[in-house]
Each structure stands twice: as C-alpha cells, then as structure tokens.
Amino acid sequence: MFTALVVSGCILGPAVGEPNTLTVANVLKGLSLDGSKMSYEDEPPGKLQALECTATLRDTKVKVRVRIEVVYTRALFSPDREWDPKAVRAAEVRWVTISPIKRKR
C-alpha cells in the first residue's frame, strides 16, 4: 500500500491549490518593511531563528512590532553572526507576528 501511494503521488503530481512557500522577501515587500532595519535573533548563537523590527502600518499611524520566524536551514548559520542577505531573504517563513506597540501614558 505504501508503494502504491508513492506511485500515485508521482503520477498525479502535487495537489492543486497548494500554497507557494512564503519567504522573508515576500513579507518584507508585502508589509513595506526595510530589511536593513531588522534585528536578527539567533539562539543558539549563530543559528538564525527570527527577524524583528518596529514599523508603522501603511496608511495609519499605528506603530507595531513585526516578528518573522524562519524555518532554519544550514544556510542560516553564521559563526560570526553575519548572515548572507540573499540567504535571509530567501528563507522560508514559519510565521509572522504583528503586535501593536502600546503607547506610554
């Protein structure tokens, strides 16, 4: 039965309507974020896990914190903590969190 499933999958190809992979570049462009203003979070050191920045939502005055969690690959490791910008922009996104920044009263 397992072999039949593999063969069927090869013949039929991927399921229609599967979403494309979301990359960091897609998020930066879609949210109009400046990639140079992102801070990088690596834990353990050298293993890039997330990018984060503050921004103002388009057409509003609402300040938010944007956090982009990435799917870790070997291309996202840097012992010197200086990541290749092309590898970061091409990284697959695990999830994006947008949180309002509360104003101080």
What are the extents of the domains in the chain? 19-100
Return all residues near 78 (Cβ < 8 A) that are at least 6 apart: 42, 46, 48, 84
| Position 18 confidence tier, pLDDT thresholds 50, 70, 90 | low
CA distance 83 to 46: 9
* Strands 48-56 and 39-42, bridge-based pairing: antiparallel
| Position 57 confidence tier, pLDDT thresholds 50, 70, 90 | confident
SS3 76: helix
Tokens 């992102």 locate to 38
Stated pTM of the model: 0.77
51 contacts 40 by C-beta, under 8 angstroms: yes
| Position 19 confidence tier, pLDDT thresholds 50, 70, 90 | low
In the predicted model, what is the mean pLDDT of residues 25-34?
94
